[in-house]
A and B are shown apart, each in its own frame.
Chain A
């Protein structure tokens, strides 16, 4: 996976925001997943933009973080969420 990928939340995944955090449920597997405030912002931007590169750019403006560190963190989180069926390739 790279920043050139597009990702989306699959239809079978339910999400809910709770006080700045987000919980997700893959209804097909029964897998629950929690995101803290930063992870929630990532998901919010991903839902808006779809493109990982756009999310990366937006978060670089919002957070005091080195580009390569943010890229590694976003790719690691995306991989983990994809493996759990909580994200899928978008168009």
Chain B
């Protein structure tokens, strides 16, 4: 493989044999992970022990009738991640090498999206990072995270806050690390993915956007003049879990047990059967639960309500800081 590019995503230096324009360049020296795009072809035909899958469908839909989005298998020397309609990603056991064999006809932009937004979070979890399915911004003196299921409004909320001057930390893959006795939120890479209607409402009409993948209408907004991007790690002050579509904004402090369960639900994990990893993740989530206050935030899912939501979050953080100071 001839390495031609080097990039940074979260705190990972990634080399690649193909351009990844969504990422910031980095020096290849000290690269921790290599990505290789292989020519399009048929699905991986070697031995694979399938052990897990992610599906998509309506809430409450029977598992059997849901569409398989991603299948997980162990191979002789690592893992196979299969997106049935797009292609295969092979990840080495030490999570230091990723190869992609797209199915014929899968566009490059889709491969990049799957790599950056689906595979890399799993790879980072395998590299012992704490990775949450959450957006995050820097507000005032620290970062606040918004965890929620797909479609609950993580990106909309983060974009709305960034539009008002908060620095974007992540769109939906938040990497945390412990440092100086606290938790730091690491910037992932610039940009958010929004539905066109959301981009039109939250941002200016003429905001430049780019295709995310061939199978979605969502658009990528990467202009850091429009959405400021965090310059470095920021201390994590609050974890917000996106709650109900409610008539007004309210905050509900989560008891530790509920906060722990919610964090587990939104934590990435490449191998859910690796008991040694599960035990380490159990301890890590326990420490995070004990260190960072967690709240459910309920608010109206209407664009017109976003200014009030922003104000309420700022007020909530300010009131909390006053309580902490007393």
Is chain B found bound to chain A in the same assembly? yes
Interface residues in chain A, defined as those with a beta carbon under 8 Å from any beta carbon in chain B: 12, 14, 16, 18-23, 25, 27-28, 30, 32, 34-36
Closest residue of chain B to A14, judged by CB? B282
Closest residue of chain A to B281, judged by CB? A25
Nearest-Cβ distance from residue B18 to partner chain A, whole angstroms: 35
Given contacts A12-B275, A27-B278, 13 further A-B contacts (CB under 8 A): A14-B283, A16-B260, A16-B282, A18-B257, A18-B290, A19-B256, A21-B256, A23-B261, A27-B279, A28-B275, A32-B261, A34-B257, A36-B257
Nearest-Cβ distance from residue B290 to partner chain A, whole angstroms: 6
Contacts of A36 in B (CB 8 A): 255, 257
The docked-state distance in angstroms from the alpha carbon of A91 to that of B27 is 60
The docked-state distance in angstroms from the alpha carbon of A23 to that of B286 is 9
Q: Is B272 an interface residue (CB 8 A)?
A: yes
Q: Is B258 an interface residue (CB 8 A)?
A: yes
Closest residue of chain B to A25, judged by CB? B282
Closest residue of chain A to B273, judged by CB? A30
The docked-state distance in angstroms from the alpha carbon of A25 to that of B279 is 8
Q: Is B264 an interface residue (CB 8 A)?
A: yes
> Across the interface, do A27 and B275 meet the contact criterion of CB distance under 8 Å?
yes
Evaluate whether A34 and B272 lie within 8 angstroms (CB atoms) in the complex, with A14-B282, A18-B286 already known: no
Nearest-Cβ distance from residue A86 to partner chain B, whole angstroms: 13
Contacts of B279 in A (CB 8 A): 14, 25, 27
Contacts of B259 in A (CB 8 A): 18
Q: Is B155 an interface residue (CB 8 A)?
A: no
Closest residue of chain B to A20, judged by CB? B256
Contacts of B272 in A (CB 8 A): 30
Nearest-Cβ distance from residue B268 to partner chain A, whole angstroms: 14
**Which one of B260, B264, B275, B278 lies within 8 Å of A18 (CB-CB)?**
B260
> Across the interface, do B261 and A34 meet the contact criterion of CB distance under 8 Å?
yes
Q: Is B222 an interface residue (CB 8 A)?
A: no
The 8 nearest A-B residue pairs measured at CB: A18-B256, A21-B257, A34-B257, A19-B256, A27-B275, A16-B286, A23-B260, A25-B282
Interface bracket on B: 10 to 19
Nearest-Cβ distance from residue A25 to partner chain B, whole angstroms: 5
Contacts of A34 in B (CB 8 A): 257-258, 260-261
> Across the interface, do A16 and B283 meet the contact criterion of CB distance under 8 Å?
yes
- Segment 261-285 of B: residues with Cβ below 8 Å from A: 261, 264, 272-273, 275, 278-279, 282-283
> Across the interface, do A32 and B264 meet the contact criterion of CB distance under 8 Å?
yes
Contacts of B156 in A (CB 8 A): none
Most-contacted residue by chain A among B260, B279, B289 (CB, 10 A): B260
The docked-state distance in angstroms from the alpha carbon of A20 to that of B289 is 13
Contacts of A25 in B (CB 8 A): 278-279, 282
Contacts of B260 in A (CB 8 A): 16, 18, 23, 34
Closest residue of chain B to A32, judged by CB? B264
Closest residue of chain B to A36, judged by CB? B257
Closest residue of chain A to B269, judged by CB? A30
Contacts of A18 in B (CB 8 A): 256-257, 259-260, 286, 289-290
The docked-state distance in angstroms from the alpha carbon of A74 to that of B257 is 20
Contacts of B273 in A (CB 8 A): 30
Closest residue of chain B to A39, judged by CB? B257
Most-contacted residue by chain B among A14, A21, A23 (CB, 10 A): A23
> Across the interface, do A22 and B282 meet the contact criterion of CB distance under 8 Å?
no
- Segment 32-59 of B: residues with Cβ below 8 Å from A: none
**Which one of A12, A30, A35 lies within 8 Å of B257 (CB-CB)?**
A35
- Segment 236-270 of B: residues with Cβ below 8 Å from A: 255-261, 264
Complex interface bits, B78-104 against A, C-beta within 8 A gives 1, otherwise 0: 000000000000000000000000000
Nearest-Cβ distance from residue B286 to partner chain A, whole angstroms: 4
Contacts of B278 in A (CB 8 A): 14, 25, 27, 30
Most-contacted residue by chain A among B255, B257, B289, B290 (CB, 10 A): B257
